Structure 1
Amino acid sequence: MKKMLLLFVLLSGGWMILTAQDHTEWKYTHPAPQPNNLRKIKMADAQNWYAVGQYGTFMKTTDAGASWYFHNENGRHQNAAKMIGQAWDIWRFSDGTLISTGEFGYIGRSVNGGVTFDSVGIGMAPTSQRGQSIWFADQNTGYISFGAPSGSAGTILKTTDGGLTWSVVNTSSTTAFYSIAGIDAQTIYVASFGGAIYKTNDGGATWSSSNSTVGAGTYGLAFIDVNTGFASGGTGFVSKTTDGGTTWTAVNTPQTNWSLFQIRIIAPNEIYAVGAPDVLYKTTDQGATWIPLNIMPVSGPVSTLIWYSMDKFGSVMLLSGDFGVVAKSTDGGASWSSNHTQYSTQIMFDIDYVPGTTKIWAVGRQYSSGTGQRNIFYSSDMGSTWQPRDLGVVSELYSICWLNENVGYVSGTNSKVLKTTDGGNTWNLLTQPHTSNYTLQVVDFVNESTGWVFVNFGTVSGGNIFKTTDGGTTWTQQTFAQNGGIYSANMVDANTGYFSLNSSGRPIYKTTDGGTTWTAVTTPITGIIKDIKVFDANNLIISGSSGTVRLAKSTDGGATWTNINLPVTIDVNSIDFINMNLGYVSGNTTTVIAKTTDGGATWDFQNMRIAALTKVFVTAGDTAFVTGTYTSIRRYTSSVIPVELVSFTATVTGSEVTLSWSTATEKNNQGFAVERKSGNGEFTEIAFVKGNGTTTGISRYTFTDIHGKSGRYDYRLKQQDFDGTYRYYDLAEEVIIGAPQEYSLEQNYPNPFNPSTEIRFSVKEPGRVTVRVYDMQGSLVKVLLDDFAEAGYHSINFDASGLASGTYVYMLNTAGVSLSRKMVLIK
């Protein structure tokens, strides 16, 4: 029996967001930062990187991968469910403008660092084709190659205004185009599906072709100069031209059977070929020989991780590939690291929480290689972080059920049922309900003694239901007339429960005597009933993945039904509700999550943009989880991250520290307390910058700290909501204000002034310092300072309340240096 309610308490304390996820309130908590393949990565410098990939993924970092900002809105909506295809390439201009391309003829242009992309060139490339590659000669002139996935058609588009508008460049070819590269705005090369490479010397007006010798699937293309270039493709082929593409010759091929998706030329004698799962190939003699640079392992148990793209800036090399992994090397490829966290690449099937705690458990398919099964995951912080547990059994786990903080059960393939009585520290294998190996799709206990397991993907002679009344020590098989695989079940108590069969056009079945007898209950759903949510003997909601009706509810135990309309067509495979009004539905391959707070009269929905979703689970109010492929676990908590901080940087000018930060979105944001500390001291608030409340647009903030002392300082922002909740964002690096290189006396501020003003000065070396004020006749008016001063930046206040309007001179004397300036008092 699944729990209905969880009291979710957030403990106060500081924390820092390492992955800001925009345009969705469903945040990845595993893997981190996200699991979608990354087709291209680009470096602006050693700190700022950009990547694009599967399902409209856009990622960027401003701190060399320590933290990432990303979203899945870099693409064109494919359908009403708002699915977005893959983004294949990205280009960055020196002014920060981004151009991206991908599925369904998409071209996106961003002028705000990737927070949003505007679709441009709409209709110029057919939606049946995907943008494969981008190349720009300068800020204005660029080209994008498109191709149909089947390889049967392609398009080349050209822009002369920095990507605002695009036009078709005709090559007379009927094949798909892959990589595109150029020498200048007029000389362009494009590789095709069939292996031909097309060239233009007049900006696309006319084209000639030659054979790359790579064969079908020429994916990579790059040039050293007007004569020398390289192409790469399937099964490790690389070819080279030394006559501007007129002829191509196969070079010594890297020893790999994998496709080489990219040729990256860093310098004439530093060229890389990318694509093999565990090796990056490098040549220092333009292809005569290739040096294999071992990549694996860089992150978690990823046995076959294909790399699609690489880039290099200075000594920093990057690779991007499957499962969203970005690998980094700073020693020429001798070693690699990644901050990607992923314990398995399989699929999760179920998720549940431990009552009275903040512990969450999720189960799924076992990992096929490496140590440990990794078919069960554990979180002690309400899903913020996860760790795998090894139960020591070979089984795909389909279901998990917690009764209290100590007792829980899991079930799966090979007729396995396991039990814990110590909160999950240890798990014990129970007596198998059946001696044959069946898939126990659902385990459901109503108390520590009484529970059931339900068999799917097969028919068990005598019945697919097994019941225990002694906590799993022994099992009794229960029969019913219409036997078969059982997809979903939900028991209310020791007497009442429901289940559905894994076949279309079937009723659900209800028992009121603990499973001794089961009665068919007709429903309006004609497809397979994938999930049943039961609140009591009378109130329940059911869902199906196909048919006209896909969601329905009953308030009389199934005697009558009310159809519930969904916001879009969803292949519903999981539902969970707090009550008859508040709940969620998830689609399998449509990957839609929809939420209602009024029993289905209205809905909010988002597309999760991943391969598949398996289970949605709501704990309380606005806290819910959804599981899926790549062991993905996403959490919805609308109040956890009201502000998406995109960047936070500091610039030092003399004694002034200018802090700059920006947000992608804000919700209920009162503002930011700016805090500073020196050395091992405590943080103190030095200013408060008002926020923008609630906004979906990007907001930029600055604050200049003029405290004037040399030293090493740390800064942080305390973002505060109107309801009093807050969270901290730390500046990534320490700020150093060095000693002045000379003596200086700055102009007072304000000037003119009334009645007081600030005078700032810097002292190169420690010593005695005097600051005096004189009138225009040379008479001393006031001594502001006559004391020892440390080397550094200083300021003093001059109060002229007792003086008449006029011009005054202030003078600094120290170490034989005399400096003076004028100031004006106006009353």
Structure 2
Amino acid sequence: MTALINNKKLVVLLVFLLCAGCFHEETSTPSPKLMTSPNQKRDNGFSIVAGEKIGIQDQVVQPIHLTPTKAISFVDELHGYGVSSGTLDLQFLKSSDGGMTWRALSRLPQTIMASAISFFDYQTGWLLTSESSDEKSELRLTLDGGQTWEVIAQDLPGLETRGEELFFRFFDRHQGLIAFQSGKDMILLRTQDGGLTWSASSRISMPSEKEGLFTFRSAIEGWFIGPSKKDKEVSILYHMTDGETWQETGRLPSFLAPQAISFTDQQNGFILLHANPQSSEKTWQFLRTFDGGKTWRQHEFPSTFQPLAASLHLSFPTATSGWLLDARDLWQTTDGGLNWRLLTP
């Protein structure tokens, strides 16, 4: 009987993946062409203007016992999913109240490395992990909101010895993207069948060899922040719209080091920055754009805001609702980043 049930689950899973294109009427995005003109500069009226100071509520009203520690993915202002690591396993968590409370739905034994998580809707999500024994990559799919998971791909190309931060997201039920920087190049892995198979794109030349921050809003549109070649203390913001070329859009304040970036859509984007160690400024700053990166409003955090900068995850599923996760705390905003509330004690 158990074997029969497992076979039925496998059939349902395969039908979902093979017919993934049936869920959307959008045409599949073609693979990008070979890279040309890696460092095109664009004058688009880039500017940074001062904004009001950010408010922080760091007194927790209702302490939560469970909280994500490795990755989060929110699909709207209330429903979010996260991963917490244990000694020998990963615990998958779900929140239905904007991150105020979390409940455990499932565990993944003998899996301690969670690279990233991406949920498309309340039921459909993907989890990229590596086994503790050999550190090979595994991609899991859930169709019931995280209660059960099935391994649908293993040993993804290019991830065998990767140690850098990566971007991982599914834009619909069949198109997904994995991106990571490798020296002078960025490697893009794409899938168009729900994660069953992945193809590595041509290597995209990066504006800088130094590691930077990046995010993608679609399979071909992305943003990258990297240090200037001439002035190492200056960070430059780049935009990609064709899947193959990075265009310089402007320079960020020289005393600030980018820590996290998130774009909700073509118009709304957010960047979290921290003062460089060489600077006398000991502060966190927040940049917001509402016009696709042409104009940014710069906001200062109060001194009580001190997240751990080693590992930060910034997620804005809408232009107003956002979350910031570090290795210790989870913060929430409901007004586009002007006010943040600490959710963990």
TM-score by length of 1: 0.25
CA separation in 1, counterparts of 2:250 and 2:67? 38
Match of 1:392 among 141, 155, 160: 155
From the two aligned structures, give the one with the greater helix fraction. Answer: 2
Q: SS at 2:323's partner residue?
A: strand
User: What is the deviation of 1:541?
Assistant: 0.8
Corresponding residue SS for 1:383: coil
Answer yes or no: is the 8 Å Cα contact 1:530–1:574 preserved in 2: no
Check conservation: 1:492, 1:535, Cα contact below 8 A: no
Q: Deviations over 1:82-133 (max 9, x none)?
A: xxxxxxxxxxxxxxxxxxxxxxxxxxxxxxxxxxxxxxxxxxxxxxxxxxxx
How much has 1:499 moved relative to structure 2? Answer: 1.0
Aligned equivalents of 1:536, 1:497: Cα separation in 2: 11
Query: What displacement does 1:508 show?
Result: 1.6
**Contact 2:138–2:155 (CA under 8 A) maintained in structure 1:** no
Give the counterpart of 2:212 among 486, 490, 496.
486
Counterpart among 261, 270, 277 of residue 541 in structure 1: 270
Question: How far apart are residue 562 of structure 1 and its match?
Answer: 2.6
CA contact (8 A) 1:488 1:530 kept: no
2:301 to 565, 568, 576: 565
The Cα of 1:36 is off from its aligned counterpart by 5.8
Residues 514, 532 of structure 1: CA spacing in aligned structure 2 closer, same or farther, 3 A cutoff? Answer: same
Q: Give the 3-state SS of the residue equivalent to 1:603 in structure 2.
A: strand
CA positional deviation for 1:570? 1.3
**What is the CA deviation profile of residues 236-294 of structure 1, one whole-angstrom value per residue up to 9, with x for unaligned ones?**
xxxxxxxxxxxxxxxxxxxxxxxxxxxxxxxxxxxxxxxxxxxxxxxxxxxxxxxxxxx
- Any conservation in 2 of the 1:362–1:376 contact (CA below 8 Å)? yes
Q: State the SS of the aligned residue for 1:528.
A: strand
Superposition deviation, residue 531 in structure 1: 2.6
Q: Which whole-Å CA distance do the structure 1 matches of 2:192 and 2:244 have between them?
A: 26
Q: Percent identity?
A: 16
Partner of 1:423: 194
Q: Give the alignment of 1:436-447 within 5 angstroms.
A: none
Aligned to 2:284, the other structure's residue is in SS state coil
Deviation, structure 1 residue 346: 3.7
- Alignment partners' CA distance in 2, 1:487 and 1:341: 30
Larger radius of gyration: 1
Give CA-to-partner distance per residue, 1:599-641, whole Å, 9 cap, x none. Answer: 3333221348xxxxxxxxxxxxxxxxxxxxxxxxxxxxxxxxx
What is the identity, as a one-letter code, of the residue corresponding to 1:507?
I
**Alignment match, 1:35:** 86
Check conservation: 1:500, 1:507, Cα contact below 8 A.
yes
Q: Distance in 2 between matches of 1:360 and 1:562?
A: 34
Query: Out of 322, 327, 337, which is 1:583 matched to?
Result: 322
Deviations 1:302-327 (A, max 9, x none): xxxxxxxxxxxxxxxxxxxxxxxxxx
Equivalent-residue separation in structure 2 for 1:507 and 1:352 (angstroms)? 28
User: Is the Cα–Cα contact under 8 Å of residues 188 and 200 in structure 2 kept in the other structure?
Assistant: yes
Change (3 A) 1:408 1:483: same
Contact kept in structure 1, 2:261 and 2:270, CA below 8 Å: yes
Check whether the contact 2:329–2:343 (CA below 8 A) recurs between aligned residues.
yes
1:410 matched to 2:178 = yes
- Aligned 8 A contact 1:510 1:521 in 2: no
Count of residues in Structure 1 that have an aligned counterpart in Structure 2? 233
Q: Which fold has the larger relative contact order, with Cα–Cα distance below 8 Å and residues 6 or more apart in sequence?
A: 2
Residues 330 and 343 in structure 2, CA contact (< 8 A), matched pair in contact too: yes
Q: Does 1:501 align with 2:226?
A: yes
Deviation at 1:569, TM superposition (A): 0.9
Alignment RMSD (CA, Å): 4.0
Verify: 1:600 aligned to 2:326, yes or no: no
Question: Matched residues in 2 for 1:341 and 1:520: separation?
Answer: 43
Three-state SS of the structure 1 residue aligned to 2:109 is: coil
Query: Are the equivalent residues in 2 in contact too, given 1:350–1:363 (CA < 8 A)?
Result: yes
CA distance in 2, matches of 1:353, 1:402: 7
Question: CA deviation digits over 1:152-199, x for unaligned, max 9?
Answer: xxxxxxxxxxxxxxxxxxxxxxxxxxxxxxxxxxxxxxxxxxxxxxxx
> What residue number does 1:551 align with?
286
What residue is the counterpart of 2:113 in the other structure? 347
Structure 2, unmatched stretches of 5+, are 1-61, 69-80, 89-105, 277-282
Match of 1:574 among 303, 313, 326: 313
Contact 2:168/2:178 (8 A) holds in 1: yes
Q: 1:294-443 to 2 correspondence within 5 Å?
A: 341-354=107-120, 358-364=123-129, 366-369=130-133, 373-393=136-156, 395=160, 396=162, 398-411=166-179, 418-424=189-195, 426-428=196-198, 430-431=199-200, 433-434=202-203
CA distance in 1, matches of 2:329, 2:187: 32
CA positional deviation for 1:542:
0.5
Inter-CA distance 554–25: structure 2 relative to 1 (3 Å threshold) = farther
Given that residues 553 and 564 in structure 1 are in contact (C-alpha distance below 8 angstroms), is that contact kept between their aligned partners in structure 2? no
Query: Quick one: which of 222, 245, 259 aligns to 1:530?
Result: 259
1:409 and 1:530, CA in 2 relative to 1: closer, same or farther beyond 3 A?
same
Distance (Å, rounded) in 1 between the aligned partners of 2:178 and 2:242? 24
After TM superposition, list the pairs within 5 Å mapping 1:162-201 onto structure 2. none
Relative to structure 1, the CA distance from residue 555 to residue 399 in structure 2 (aligned partners, 3 Å threshold; closer, same or farther) is closer
Q: Distance in 1 between matches of 2:148 and 2:242?
A: 42
Deviations 1:550-596 (A, max 9, x none): 42212342434231526621135221113332111122x4x221001
TM-score (norm 2): 0.53
Partner of 2:26: none
Give 2:225's aligned amino acid.
Answer: S
Q: Contact 2:190–2:201 (CA<8 Å) still a contact in 1?
A: no
Query: Is the contact made by 1:400 and 1:410 (CA closer than 8 Å) also made in structure 2?
Result: yes
Distance (Å, rounded) in 2 between the aligned partners of 1:487 and 1:403: 20
**Which runs of 5 or more residues in structure 1 are unaligned?**
1-21, 38-339, 435-452, 454-462, 465-479, 609-827
Higher strand share: 1
**Aligned-partner SS, 2:301:** coil
